[in-house]
Amino acid sequence: MKTQRRFRPEFKRQVVEELLSGISSPAQIIRRYEISSGLLYHWKKQYPKGAFENPPDQTAALEERVRQLEQLVGKLTLENEFLKKAVQRSLEPPKKSGNSLPSKRHLVQRIQRGCELMKLPRSTYYYRSKNKPEGEQELLKRIEAVIEEFPGYGYRRVTANFIARDSGIITKKSCGS
Protein backbone atom coordinates (compact mmCIF):
# COMPACT_ATOMS: atom_id res chain seq x y z
CA MET A 1 0.00 0.00 0.00
CA LYS A 2 1.23 3.46 -0.87
CA THR A 3 2.32 5.62 2.05
CA GLN A 4 0.65 8.95 2.52
CA ARG A 5 2.71 11.86 1.25
CA ARG A 6 3.42 14.79 3.57
CA PHE A 7 4.13 18.22 2.16
CA ARG A 8 6.22 20.86 3.88
CA PRO A 9 4.60 24.25 4.52
CA GLU A 10 7.23 25.91 2.26
CA PHE A 11 6.24 23.65 -0.63
CA LYS A 12 2.53 24.36 -0.09
CA ARG A 13 3.20 28.12 -0.01
CA GLN A 14 5.27 27.92 -3.20
CA VAL A 15 2.53 25.99 -5.06
CA VAL A 16 -0.25 28.36 -3.96
CA GLU A 17 1.80 31.48 -4.78
CA GLU A 18 2.48 30.04 -8.24
CA LEU A 19 -1.26 29.52 -8.69
CA LEU A 20 -2.16 33.00 -7.45
CA SER A 21 0.51 34.72 -9.54
CA GLY A 22 -0.98 33.26 -12.71
CA ILE A 23 2.31 31.80 -13.96
CA SER A 24 0.69 28.37 -14.37
CA SER A 25 -2.88 27.17 -14.69
CA PRO A 26 -4.35 24.88 -12.03
CA ALA A 27 -4.22 21.93 -14.44
CA GLN A 28 -0.51 22.49 -15.13
CA ILE A 29 0.28 22.73 -11.40
CA ILE A 30 -1.67 19.55 -10.65
CA ARG A 31 0.21 17.61 -13.34
CA ARG A 32 3.63 19.04 -12.51
CA TYR A 33 3.45 18.34 -8.75
CA GLU A 34 1.21 15.27 -8.97
CA ILE A 35 -1.40 16.53 -6.49
CA SER A 36 -5.17 16.39 -6.66
CA SER A 37 -7.27 19.39 -7.60
CA GLY A 38 -9.12 19.19 -4.28
CA LEU A 39 -5.85 19.42 -2.38
CA LEU A 40 -4.71 22.42 -4.45
CA TYR A 41 -7.93 24.34 -3.80
CA HIS A 42 -7.83 23.34 -0.12
CA TRP A 43 -4.35 24.88 0.16
CA LYS A 44 -5.55 27.95 -1.72
CA LYS A 45 -8.33 28.39 0.85
CA GLN A 46 -5.89 28.00 3.77
CA TYR A 47 -3.26 30.38 2.35
CA PRO A 48 -4.93 33.71 3.28
CA LYS A 49 -5.32 32.50 6.87
CA GLY A 50 -1.53 32.20 7.25
CA ALA A 51 -1.43 28.40 7.41
CA PHE A 52 1.91 28.04 5.52
CA GLU A 53 4.25 30.22 7.60
CA ASN A 54 3.14 33.27 5.65
CA PRO A 55 1.64 36.37 7.26
CA PRO A 56 -2.14 36.10 7.38
CA ASP A 57 -3.96 38.21 4.86
CA GLN A 58 -5.94 41.02 6.51
CA THR A 59 -8.80 40.74 4.01
CA ALA A 60 -9.28 37.02 4.74
CA ALA A 61 -9.54 37.68 8.46
CA LEU A 62 -12.02 40.48 7.82
CA GLU A 63 -14.08 38.30 5.44
CA GLU A 64 -14.27 35.56 8.07
CA ARG A 65 -15.39 38.09 10.68
CA VAL A 66 -18.04 39.46 8.29
CA ARG A 67 -19.33 35.94 7.66
CA GLN A 68 -19.63 35.28 11.41
CA LEU A 69 -21.39 38.60 11.97
CA GLU A 70 -23.83 37.92 9.11
CA GLN A 71 -24.74 34.60 10.70
CA LEU A 72 -25.30 36.31 14.03
CA VAL A 73 -27.46 39.01 12.41
CA GLY A 74 -29.59 36.36 10.72
CA LYS A 75 -30.08 34.48 13.97
CA LEU A 76 -30.97 37.64 15.89
CA THR A 77 -33.39 38.71 13.15
CA LEU A 78 -35.26 35.43 13.41
CA GLU A 79 -35.41 35.67 17.19
CA ASN A 80 -36.63 39.28 16.96
CA GLU A 81 -39.44 38.36 14.54
CA PHE A 82 -40.49 35.46 16.74
CA LEU A 83 -40.62 37.67 19.84
CA LYS A 84 -42.57 40.39 18.00
CA LYS A 85 -45.21 37.87 16.99
CA ALA A 86 -45.37 36.48 20.53
CA VAL A 87 -45.87 39.94 22.02
CA GLN A 88 -48.46 40.80 19.39
CA ARG A 89 -50.42 37.62 20.15
CA SER A 90 -50.25 38.21 23.89
CA LEU A 91 -51.64 41.73 23.49
CA GLU A 92 -54.60 40.62 21.36
CA PRO A 93 -57.88 40.31 23.27
CA PRO A 94 -59.04 36.72 23.75
CA LYS A 95 -61.61 35.55 21.26
CA LYS A 96 -65.08 35.13 22.72
CA SER A 97 -66.33 32.65 20.19
CA GLY A 98 -67.16 29.95 22.74
CA ASN A 99 -66.58 26.48 21.35
CA SER A 100 -65.25 27.67 18.02
CA LEU A 101 -62.71 25.51 16.31
CA PRO A 102 -60.02 28.23 15.87
CA SER A 103 -59.76 28.82 19.63
CA LYS A 104 -59.11 25.10 20.16
CA ARG A 105 -56.86 24.66 17.14
CA HIS A 106 -53.85 23.54 19.20
CA LEU A 107 -55.95 20.83 20.87
CA VAL A 108 -57.28 19.59 17.53
CA GLN A 109 -53.74 19.47 16.14
CA ARG A 110 -52.55 17.37 19.09
CA ILE A 111 -55.44 14.95 18.71
CA GLN A 112 -54.79 14.73 14.98
CA ARG A 113 -51.08 14.04 15.55
CA GLY A 114 -51.87 11.37 18.14
CA CYS A 115 -54.27 9.64 15.78
CA GLU A 116 -51.68 9.75 12.99
CA LEU A 117 -49.11 8.11 15.27
CA MET A 118 -51.56 5.34 16.19
CA LYS A 119 -52.66 5.05 12.54
CA LEU A 120 -56.32 5.59 13.44
CA PRO A 121 -58.86 7.83 11.77
CA ARG A 122 -59.61 10.89 13.89
CA SER A 123 -63.30 9.98 13.93
CA THR A 124 -62.40 6.93 16.03
CA TYR A 125 -61.15 9.24 18.79
CA TYR A 126 -64.49 11.05 18.94
CA TYR A 127 -66.67 7.92 18.61
CA ARG A 128 -69.14 7.28 21.42
CA SER A 129 -71.29 4.18 21.20
CA LYS A 130 -75.02 4.90 21.22
CA ASN A 131 -76.00 1.29 21.88
CA LYS A 132 -75.88 0.47 25.57
CA PRO A 133 -76.43 -3.12 26.66
CA GLU A 134 -79.81 -3.83 28.15
CA GLY A 135 -79.86 -3.99 31.94
CA GLU A 136 -76.51 -2.26 32.29
CA GLN A 137 -77.78 0.22 34.91
CA GLU A 138 -79.26 -2.59 37.01
CA LEU A 139 -76.03 -4.57 36.79
CA LEU A 140 -73.96 -1.55 37.85
CA LYS A 141 -76.20 -0.99 40.88
CA ARG A 142 -75.77 -4.60 41.92
CA ILE A 143 -71.99 -4.38 41.53
CA GLU A 144 -71.91 -1.23 43.65
CA ALA A 145 -74.00 -2.99 46.33
CA VAL A 146 -71.47 -5.86 46.53
CA ILE A 147 -68.58 -3.39 46.70
CA GLU A 148 -70.28 -1.49 49.53
CA GLU A 149 -70.96 -4.75 51.38
CA PHE A 150 -67.39 -6.01 50.90
CA PRO A 151 -65.13 -2.97 50.33
CA GLY A 152 -61.92 -5.03 50.29
CA TYR A 153 -63.03 -7.20 47.35
CA GLY A 154 -61.28 -6.84 44.02
CA TYR A 155 -62.87 -7.47 40.67
CA ARG A 156 -62.22 -11.22 40.87
CA ARG A 157 -63.98 -11.65 44.22
CA VAL A 158 -66.87 -9.42 43.08
CA THR A 159 -67.27 -11.62 39.99
CA ALA A 160 -67.11 -14.80 42.09
CA ASN A 161 -69.72 -13.35 44.46
CA PHE A 162 -72.06 -12.66 41.53
CA ILE A 163 -71.59 -16.15 40.17
CA ALA A 164 -72.35 -17.64 43.57
CA ARG A 165 -75.45 -15.46 44.12
CA ASP A 166 -76.95 -15.41 40.67
CA SER A 167 -75.62 -18.66 39.24
CA GLY A 168 -73.60 -17.16 36.44
CA ILE A 169 -75.48 -14.05 35.32
CA ILE A 170 -72.21 -12.22 34.67
CA THR A 171 -70.41 -13.17 31.48
CA LYS A 172 -67.62 -11.45 29.68
CA LYS A 173 -70.09 -10.00 27.18
CA SER A 174 -72.33 -8.58 29.87
CA CYS A 175 -69.32 -6.96 31.61
CA GLY A 176 -68.23 -5.27 28.40
CA SER A 177 -64.85 -7.06 28.27
User: Tens of pLDDT along the chain (177 residues)?
Assistant: 678 888 888 898 899 889 989 888 999 999 999 999 999 999 888 887 777 777 766 777 788 788 889 888 888 888 888 788 877 877 777 666 555 555 567 777 777 877 777 777 878 777 776 766 677 777 778 888 888 888 888 888 888 887 777 655 555 555 554
CA angle 51, 52, 58 (to 5 degrees): 55
Q: What is the mean pLDDT of the chain?
A: 79
In this prediction, residue 90 carries a pLDDT of 74
In this prediction, residue 163 carries a pLDDT of 76
In this prediction, residue 86 carries a pLDDT of 77
Question: What would the pLDDT profile of 59-95 be if each residue is shown by its tens digit?
Answer: 777 887 888 898 888 888 888 887 888 778 777 776 6
How far is residue 68's CA from residue 98's CA, in Å, rounded to a whole number?
A: 49
In this prediction, residue 170 carries a pLDDT of 55
Amino acid at 72: L
How far is residue 129's CA from residue 115's CA, in Å, rounded to a whole number?
A: 19
pTM strictly above 0.85: no
Stated as kind and residue range, the H or E segment containing 156 is: helix 155-166
